[in-house]
Amino acid sequence: MTIIAAPKVSPLLARALMGFGALGALASTFLAWTWTSAFPGDLAVTGYPGGNQLITLVVSILTLVALASAYGVRGLRWLAPAGHVRLLRGLALANAVSTWYVLIAIVAELGGLANFVTGSWVAGLTVLAPVAGAFALPDDRREPAPPAPLPRWAQTLVIFAAVLLAMFVADYGITSGYSEEFLGFALAIGFAAWGVNAGGVLGRLTELTARNRPATAAAAFAAALLFVFLQTTDAYNNVADNILIFATVALGLNIVVGLAGLLDLGYVAFLGVGAYSAALVSGTAASRFANTVLPFWAQVLIGVAVAVIAGVIIGAPTLRLRGDYLAIVTLGFGEIFRIAVNNLNGVSGPNLTNGPEGVYGVPDLSLFGYDFEKPHVILGVTFGRFANYYVLLLVVMAAVVFVFSRINESRIGRAWVAIREDETAASAMGISAFRFKLLAFALGAGLAGLAGTIQAHLTSTVTPDQYIFASTAPPNSSFLLAAVVLGGMGTISGPLLGAALLYLVPYKLAFFQDKQLLLFGLALILMMRFRPEGMVPNSRRQLEFHEQQTAVAAAHALAEAELQEQEAGAAA
Amino acid sequence: MTTTVFLQLVTNGLVLGAMYGLIAVGYTMVYGIIQLINFAHGEIFMLGGFGALLVYAWLPPVQHLPLLAALPIMLLGGVLLSVLVAVGAERIAYRPLRGAPRLAPLITAIGLSIFLQQAVSLWLPMPGGGKVHLGTKAPMQFPSFGGGAFHLGGVLLQRADLLTLVLGAVCMAGLAFFVAKTRTGRAMQATAQDPDTARLMGINTDRVIVIAFAIGAALAAVAAMTQGLRYGQISFDMGFVAGLKAFTAAVLGGIGNVYGAMVGGLVLGVAEQLSTGILAQYHATAQYGAAWQDVWAFVLLIIVLLVRPQGLLGERVADRA
């Protein structure tokens, strides 16, 4: 089924168009794109590319490489096992959209076409040629051939390379200095990712990582650790810390929502319970237990224990019931938590949480004599306060990922799937639905509590408005749900990607700030309508959500087979 | 506690409960037919209030009418807006997801709720835009009755409170008549019991679902207008807590049961008022009064789910797999 009727252009011409276009675009990045340095990133320099030109440069090179692969150059054919044309289309679109965005931004921000110089025209026109070429080529979508067997060490090497590449891309996004750079980057990545995915190389990579779990985990951890070593200032480590907290909590929520299928709308309250518990016994003067100074491990134990108890208190009455009562009760619990911590101030309730002012002045952590507040020099790199927390958060995240993946593959994980699919059938098979649901709920609450204990120290202030259903600063319950749903329910990488996007996009794009909740609401609706399995689909979930389509397809196949059988019978 | 104080609390509770009940009908009807907790219903309620306010603000002649005469016109605007949005949401967002896993429409509903709330806070078109600054989280003025309260043997009853009780009673009577006596109402009951068989009997279930959404939205708009009249202001986020309370009322009365919604609303309203009122009476518990009102309502919800999950008027229904 073709959506766009491609005009009859010989493939030779189309490819040539692509090649010359990409070469031209590449060359244009060495020219100036405007004549003043007023545009951020200084695009007025002839001779070497800067700012957004780097994005165009890299995507042009990638287009050329993909084109070489399409020509059948040996050693590059692995780039598109499922067909080259869609990969080329994705890359060409990425280049065109990102470059045109910059050109339009130049006109809009600097005032008029007068700011264009030769380079701008060259760039603007040459990036269009590959698009025309790629869409003139007929689609060559195909079932990927089984991959050539690779030795173990080569597989590991490929995984490390891929993860490192992903980390560099993420680092570029996080450290991009101005909104034009970030948006140009995001546009390019979006289209390129679509192309690379359609080309089939991502699918192959997923297969590879699925077969080499320990190597993937090690590579991801190493790459994430490397991030700190790449930072020249501590500022972006703070951003990364916030993303890590957000992502860890989203992963915890994913156990509850994605694995067990329980919609928890007050999840952030458990983070709050953990944070308040830790802050109150951390020895800050603002706590009413200021004289109680417990070591960090004890704070963690208390935070997790209180969160689990809260989870059981909320879960025990509601999880016995069928249906969606849990969603509304957890929403109510989130509201109870907010009201309670606001009023436990000694005036409208006993003094516990210091009311709206919150518990402030939570001291920095000090573990094994390592003071998190002070910068330390490790391997020639200065680890500032946020870098220290980054490493700790990374360890916690790794622990959560470990729990998630192990439990997902255990009896418990399979019981959750069974309950999610059909509680009646699962109970008939001897699974105690209530017990497993409560386990999921309590586990999720405990993980959020754990993250909360660290968050209390990182932000050093714990206030009620950090833990509400919807606000403009993540994490809150609606952001967490959006991260899980957009990323992909039941997966590990989905919520990580979702959390990173949901944090970075409003953080980098100022104009987005007051509309972010609106757009997230819209994104939830559209996602459920068009891609309910999320950006990173879990294969089982995908089948679940597209049950009808799959069933229809299967019925068609069956009918066809029967028809053929009858015809064969008639012929005989 | 004197009898007067007690009666006053009960009266306040009934007024509050009438409003909860009107909103709860929307939850319970939709849940009864398609087993969906329509999280966006709180926002439909909020839109009803803003629809009424928009009519009032944009039509100067309405402002010059006596309030009692202006109310039907405002109500028309409120009902129109909330019904349009509710029916549109059903058509665009919920209907394509029928037959999808349960989580999908639930998440859609939450997305819709966030979207509608933000859309009102960002883009509500008020006359003389500068005066009412858009995008601010401030509540907006709603016209309210002048004149003092009625004294009924020591119990005070504000004019808006009386109107709430009257409107609540009228709407519920009308709804009861509609559900029990009209063809469409019986079609609705049949669809709630068994949608597949209802369809086989020639009932247009899609139409029934749309009507359920529309009736719920219309009653929510009535409730929103009474809320505006009683407090003299409405705000873009008032649907969140009101929706939660109304859902609690629906569960309390037995979700799926239209009469239960009203009973649940009244019981919840009275319980809320009595609990805070009684706590405020005694020195030891005084501080757990008004500020904790919402907490007691949700605690009540959890207790009901624990003790009588089918609700006051609900009957135990077998799980529909």
Residue A411 in tokens: 């009896």
Of the two residues A59 and B283, the one the predictor is more confident about is A59
| ipTM for the assembly | 0.87
Residue A151 in tokens: 């030795």
The single-letter code of the amino acid at A278 is: A
The single-letter code of the amino acid at B212 is: A
Is 80 exceeded by the pLDDT of residue B37?
yes
Q: Which residues of B touch A527 (CB under 8 A)?
A: 111
- Chain-centroid distance of CA A465 in Å reads 25
Residue keyed to tokens 């380079």: A119
Distance CA A290, CA A143 (A): 65
Dihedral of the alpha carbons of A410, A416, A421, A422, in degrees to the nearest 10: 120
Residue A507: what pLDDT?
76
Distance CA A163, CA A151 (A): 19
CB A453 within 8 A of CB A304: yes
Distance CA B273, CA A36 (A): 68
DSSP letter at A81 equals T
Of the two residues B48 and B295, the one the predictor is more confident about is B48
Residue B210: what pLDDT?
94
Residue A571: what pLDDT?
66
Q: Which residues of A touch B110 (CB under 8 A)?
A: 265, 478, 481, 521, 524
Please state the φ and ψ torsions of residue B233, each to the nearest 5 degrees.
Answer: -160, 155
**What residues pair up with A359 in beta bridges, in sequence order?**
A462
Structural domain B3-126+140-307, CATH architecture: Orthogonal Bundle (1.10)
Among the partner residues A342, A524, A529, nearest to B110 by beta-carbon distance: A524
pLDDT tens for chain A, residues 1 to 572: 445 555 567 888 888 888 888 888 888 888 888 877 777 777 777 777 777 888 888 888 888 888 888 877 777 777 777 888 888 888 888 888 888 888 888 888 877 777 778 878 888 888 888 888 888 887 777 777 777 778 888 888 888 888 888 888 888 888 777 878 888 888 888 888 888 888 888 888 887 887 788 888 888 888 888 888 777 777 788 888 888 899 999 999 999 988 888 888 888 999 999 999 888 888 777 777 767 777 888 888 999 999 999 999 888 888 887 667 788 788 888 888 888 888 877 777 777 777 777 777 777 777 776 777 777 777 777 777 787 788 888 888 988 988 888 898 899 999 998 988 888 888 898 888 899 999 999 999 999 999 999 888 888 888 888 887 877 677 778 888 888 888 888 888 888 888 888 888 777 776 766 777 888 888 888 888 888 777 777 766 666 666 666 666 667 777 777 777 777 777 66
Check B294 against A339: CB less than 8 A apart: yes
CB A489 within 8 A of CB A536: no
CA nearest to B36 within chain A: A324
Residue B188 in tokens: 């609705």
CA neighbor of A59 nearest in space, from A158, A153, A169, A200: A169
Among the partner residues A327, A469, A528, nearest to B108 by beta-carbon distance: A528
Q: Which of residues 93-112 of B touch A (CB under 8 A)?
A: 93, 96-97, 99-108, 110-112
CA nearest to A320 within chain B: B306
Distance CA B33, CA B40 (A): 16
Express as a percent the part of chain B with pLDDT over 70. 92
Is 90 exceeded by the pLDDT of residue B170?
yes
Check CB contact of B261 with chain A, cutoff 8 Å. Answer: no
Q: What is the mean pLDDT of residues B180-191?
A: 90
Among the partner residues A324, A422, A532, nearest to B321 by beta-carbon distance: A422
CB A70 within 8 A of CB A80: yes
- The residue extents of the domains of chain B are 3-126+140-307
pLDDT in tens, B220-233: 999 999 999 988 88
Residue A208: what pLDDT?
82
Q: Which residues of A touch B119 (CB under 8 A)?
A: 518
Residue keyed to tokens 């089948």: A543
Please calculate the CA angle A416-A419-A423 and round it to the nearest 5 degrees: 170
CB B123 within 8 A of CB B134: yes
Listed in sequence order, the residues at least 6 apart from A270 whose beta carbon sits closer than 8 Å to its beta carbon are A307, A310, A311, A444, A445, A448, A449, A452
Residue B308 in tokens: 């009588």
Q: What is the pTM of this model?
A: 0.81
Q: Which residues of B touch A469 (CB under 8 A)?
A: 240
> Among B103, B116, B248, which would you mutate to test the A interface (most chain A Cβ atoms within 10 Å of its Cβ)?
B103
CB B49 within 8 A of CB B238: yes
- Chain-centroid distance of CA A264 in Å reads 20
How far is A261 from chain B, CA to nearest CA, in Å?
7
Is 70 exceeded by the pLDDT of residue B50?
yes
Check B298 against A336: CB less than 8 A apart: yes
Check A478 against B110: CB less than 8 A apart: yes
Check B102 against A340: CB less than 8 A apart: no
Q: Which residues of B touch A318 (CB under 8 A)?
A: 302, 305
Is 50 exceeded by the pLDDT of residue B318?
no
Is 90 exceeded by the pLDDT of residue B17?
yes
Give Cα separations from A455 to A245, A256, A267, A451, A519 (angstroms): 7, 21, 15, 6, 27
Check CB contact of B35 with chain A, cutoff 8 Å. Answer: yes
Q: Which of residues 215-254 of B touch A (CB under 8 A)?
A: 240-241, 244, 247-248, 251
Check A470 against B114: CB less than 8 A apart: yes
Residue keyed to tokens 């909360």: A452
Q: Which residues of B touch A344 (CB under 8 A)?
A: none
DSSP letter at A116 equals B
Residue A36 in tokens: 């003043």
